[in-house]
A and B are shown apart, each in its own frame.
Chain A
Amino acid sequence: MGSPFSINGGACVAMVGKDCVAIACDLRLGMQALTVSNNFPKIFNYGDVYLGLTGLATDVATVSDLFRYKVNMYRLREERNISPQTMANLVSSSLYERRFGPYFVSPVIAGINQTTGKPFICGFDSIGCIDFAKDFIVSGTASDQLFGTCEGLWEPDLGPEDLFETVSQALLNAVDRDALSGWGAHVYIIEKDKVTKRLLKGRQD
């Protein structure tokens, strides 16, 4: 059997724009080459923060539930939403806790810090090492392809509409060259006081 990261397949990407961020994922769930579901979103919302999780599907479900619990506890104690930066550190320390028996996930965070108004994205490896990026973060079985498309299409200071087009094209064309990803996509465009969620059809093969 292959790597736990590539049994179920899936892809996720986050991008920074001008006063906005985007995060997008595909919808496929597979067992090796067999597609089991075409409605398995990998982006989860925690107040102001969006978390994308690719990798082993059972861990995607477990980790997303774990963070729902942790973020709810944070909100009860602090009486405010968790900021993207704090969420990043929470994800990092939670993953490192499992240093020698990790969750097989590659998380991506996107959000706008409501106190500073600044866009924020970051990515992690499966044991919590944070990758702070100014431009874009990719993860999943189509990460090579996403690196190519993002590096080729992304430019600084894109407005919300242009960022939507860029992130969508980057994701769709990347997953079309990966057999384990695709089957439609979810795209979130996050602005200071507006979030737009769009469903992309994409190729169904």
Chain B
Amino acid sequence: MASVFSGAPPQSGPGYSFKQTPTEAPSGTRQHGFYPYTDNGGSTLGISGADFTILAGDTRHTSGYNINTRYAPKLFKIGGEGPDNKGASIVLSVVGFAADGEALKERLDTIVKMYKYQHGKPMSVAACAQRLSHILYGKRFFPYYVHAILGGLDEEGRGALYSYDPVGSYEREQCRAAGAAASLIMPFLDNQVNFKNQYVPDSGSGHELQEKPRTPLDQNHVLELVRDAFTSAVERHIEVGDGLQVMIIKKEGIMEAFHPLKQD
């Protein structure tokens, strides 16, 4: 009986250094778990214009309430030459589970580069967009846990933007916000990019009211909207912040910029 009250571990079991660890052999059923997904937070946003497409994403990488790093890019150049994608004209943004995002980018980048090697011409955004859909649907029953947005210029040189759900359902759009703060940013974009709920003054009442016509937005104005959208999201969402990575795709090439965001 004395051995029950002594602090020493039983002779038969292994000698653990932690008091809390069980010293007796496990009995009964035990459940094991493996969770292949985590949410790494963050937000992305894309807007297409007359002759350009802007993609942006914050660079905070989180797990729960922890910040793993303040600089983890969510925007990736696709195609072009070599490991730093020289001369690329397509950008992929991914938000959700960062490891899946990285894996997806790697796959798409390889495919686009192989396409150029085999066909002797760069892949069009429309083709790349459809290919990305197929990649995502290929993992229909163990999906890439990401919301992807693909940006570039179409064959007429106009801004092209495609957004995806995790299993490959996709659509070409004027603008799209994705990720943790998508619900905050999207209604703001509806209003400021597509002029939703805005009408021409004195154009009638009720159903005669004329909607404010959608005009192609100026590049600097769009950039301003993007930065406003993110500074707003940073104020109200804890998973968004630290830095803003922006890529502007034009026929001259891709311009990349980084803007600091609040770190709290």
Bind each other? yes
Interface residue ranges, A against B (CB under 8 Å): 144-145, 147-149, 151-153, 169, 172-174, 176-177, 201-202
Assess the B184–A147 pair: CB atoms within 8 A. Answer: yes
Contacts of A201 in B (CB 8 A): 206
Assess A152 versus B228: contact at CB under 8 Å? Given A147-B236, A173-B197, A176-B197. Answer: yes
Give A147 to B187 CA distance when docked, in angstroms.
10
Size of the chain B interface, CB-CB below 8 angstroms: 20
Can you list 19 A-B pairs with a CB-CB distance of less than 8 A?
A144-B183, A145-B183, A145-B187, A147-B184, A148-B181, A148-B229, A148-B232, A148-B233, A149-B188, A151-B184, A151-B233, A153-B191, A169-B197, A172-B197, A173-B188, A173-B197, A176-B190, A176-B196, A177-B190
Instruction: Report B-chain residues with C-beta under 8 Å of the C-beta of A169.
Output: 191, 197-198
Does chain A have a CB within 8 A of B217? no
Of chain B, the residue at the smallest CB distance from A147 is B236
B185: A residues at CB distance < 8 A: 148
Cα distance A174–B198 in the bound complex, in angstroms: 14
User: In the complex, how many angstroms separate the beta carbon of B217 from the nearest chain A beta carbon?
Assistant: 16
The CA-CA distance from A177 to B186 in the complex, in Å, is 8
Give the chain A neighbours of B190 by CB distance below 8 A: 173, 176-177
Q: Is B235 an interface residue (CB 8 A)?
A: yes
CB pair B183–A177 under 8 Å, yes or no, is yes
A172: chain B residues within 8 A (beta carbon): 197
A149 to B198, CA, bound (A): 14
Chain A residues within an 8 Å CB radius of B197 = 169, 172-173, 176, 202
Complex-state Cα separation, A147 to B188, whole angstroms: 10
Say whether A152 contacts B188, CB under 8 Å: yes
